[in-house]
Amino acid sequence: MQKIVNAVMIGAGHRSLIYGDYILENPDKIRLIAVAEPNPERRRQAAELFHLKEDACFSDADALYASGVAADLVINGTMDRYHVETTLPALRAGYDVLLEKPICATRGELELLVKEARRSGSRVMVCHVLRYASFYQEIKKRLAAGEIGRIISVHSEENISYHHMAACYVRGRWARRDQCGSSILLAKCSHDIDLISWYLSDTAPVFATSFGGIRTFCAQNAPEGAGMRCLTDCKIEDQCPYSAKNNYLTKNQWTPYVFGDREKAGTITREEKIESLRTDNPYGRCVYHCDNNVADHQTAMFQFENGAVATHTLNVSPKACRTVHIVGTKGEICGTMEDNYFLVRRHNLAADCDYWEEKVEAAVTAADRHGGGDYNLMDDCVNVVLGKKPSISCTDLEDSVHGHLMVFAADEAMENGVGVKIEKI
């Protein structure tokens, strides 16, 4: 009979609870035995959801670790800036760790974490869930099989929907790097940069440059008639795609972020929502008059040790989607994840056609989070903790380092207007 993995949760927020859904659906594989969460309402909800007794619920990670709870795995879903300080004690205590991306906000923190992981021998898996989406898994398999030869170049795009950008990176908790700890390239595109380093896992990145900044969401770009808050003094609210009234009251988008725990508990009325957006709710602010300081567009370029090159572009778009185009010595792979398929093309010597093309289906349902990646990640994590062979997608800490180094270098390059050499850890 297979051993059941005993897990503890640090931070009972949105991402942790997605992995918690997997736990609830797979009681024969993994169970949650303790939680640490500073917010008392979230802590109560987690206790109720996972049937935890009071002595298994803690206000912070330090208290949980001090209790000496016997577990196999720590699921760390804290905010970015707390990742390293809450993971180091877990490694020192001998726990394996599933760590939400990004790993950390600085190269110095990354060096510290890698050093401790190497010393302790504990395993750290990073939640780069897109590696586990069938779309990207199939691409990786084709690359590993040599179907398009050696990789010459990679280009990817992440197109963030306009309402997602406004909710999270203009009005929300990831809008200011000094508060959340991460740039937008790290917070939003670390998935995509990780995929690039994964495609090129047999070589290391050596150089980066990047361009971007804030061009849309700033005061000088405010249209005539814009006010300071959507529901108070804006004359064009009914024409604005970023309207707090339309997005958060009519369409009910991002409401757990906008209205917090009371929204999750169903205890806030529509009238109270309206009043909060009129007064002190940061999500009621005009997107052109917020205090955001992360970029709203960015293009990063990388060179690898073997001569391959890669670019990644972050856009704000009407349609949210991720695209990829990989060119090799024998062909190319291109596709959009949300289309649920990609194309493989190779050179064709036949007289009737210039190239051979195959359509590779990688379908997922609308309910599959991150293209099915979230649950596939958890499956792999359980297997790794039990000492079984990891999948091709495994996001071991050592294998996730290059992607983070690429992001750190690209952000430095953009901020200082220079190219940056990427030093290995």
Q: What is the pLDDT of residue 348?
A: 84
Range 189-202 average pLDDT: 96
Length of the chain: 425
Looking at the predicted structure, is the pLDDT value of residue 1 above 70? no
Preceding amide of 390 cis, omega within 30: no
Of 33-37, 67-71, 124-128, 351-355, which range is least confident?
351-355
In three-state secondary structure terms, 385 is helix
**Phi, then psi, of 76 in degrees rounded to 5:** -105, 105
pLDDT digits (tens, 9 = 90+) for 273-287: 999 999 999 999 999
- Containing 85, the helix (H) or strand (E) segment is helix 83-92
Q: What is the pLDDT of residue 369?
A: 55
pLDDT digits (tens, 9 = 90+) for 112-154: 999 999 999 999 999 999 999 999 999 999 999 999 999 999 9
CATH number of 5-126: 3.40.50.720
Among residues 222, 214, 158, the alpha carbon closest in space to that of 190 is found at: 158
Of 144-158, 356-370, 380-394, which range is least confident?
356-370
Among residues 294, 287, 288, the alpha carbon closest in space to that of 214 is found at: 294
Q: Rounded to a whole number, what is the distance in angstroms from the first to the last CA of the chain? A: 40
Residues paired with residue 159 on neighbouring β-strands, in sequence order: 315, 321
Residue 9 near residue 64, CB atoms below 8 Å: no
The pTM (predicted TM-score) of the whole model is 0.92
Measure Cα distances from 247 to 158, 168, 283, 306 in Å. Answer: 21, 13, 10, 46
One fold for both 5-126 and 130-217+292-421?
A: no
Q: Cβ–Cβ contacts within 10 Å for residue 48, how many?
A: 9
List, in order, residues 6 or more apart from 311 with CB less than 8 Å away: 153, 154, 155, 156, 299, 300, 301, 302
Looking at the predicted structure, is the pLDDT value of residue 64 above 50? yes
Residue 282 near residue 172, CB atoms below 8 Å: yes
Distance of CA 137 to the CA centre of its chain: 17
Per-chain mean pLDDT for the chain: 94
| Torsion, Cα of 323, 326, 331, 336 (10° steps) | -10
Q: What is the pLDDT of residue 320?
A: 95
Interatomic CA distance for residues 14 and 9, integer angstroms: 12
Please tell me the CATH superfamily of domain 130-217+292-421, with its number: Dihydrodipicolinate Reductase; domain 2 (3.30.360.10)
Q: What is the pLDDT of residue 366?
A: 47
Per the structure block, which two tokens stand in for 269? 């009325």
The domain limits of the chain are 5-126, 130-217+292-421, 219-289
Confidence of residue 381 (pLDDT cuts 50, 70, 90): very high
pLDDT digits (tens, 9 = 90+) for 290-348: 999 999 999 999 999 999 999 999 999 999 999 999 999 999 999 999 999 999 999 98
Q: What is the pLDDT of residue 263?
A: 84
pLDDT digits (tens, 9 = 90+) for 167-189: 999 999 999 999 888 999 999 99
Q: CA gyration radius for the chain?
A: 22
Q: What is the pLDDT of residue 225?
A: 97
Per the structure block, which two tokens stand in for 63? 């208290």
Q: Cβ–Cβ contacts within 10 Å for residue 139, how many?
A: 25
Q: Cβ–Cβ contacts within 10 Å for residue 151, how many?
A: 23
Residue 119 near residue 112, CB atoms below 8 Å: no
Interatomic CA distance for residues 213 and 223, integer angstroms: 19
pLDDT digits (tens, 9 = 90+) for 385-410: 999 999 999 999 998 999 999 999 99
- Containing 160, the helix (H) or strand (E) segment is strand 151-161
Residue 182 near residue 372, CB atoms below 8 Å: no
Measure Cα distances from 42 to 46, 64, 262, 264, 387 in Å. Answer: 6, 16, 10, 10, 32
Per the structure block, which two tokens stand in for 284? 């009621």
List, in order, residues 6 or more apart from 57 with CB less than 8 Å away: 34, 35, 36, 37, 43, 46, 47
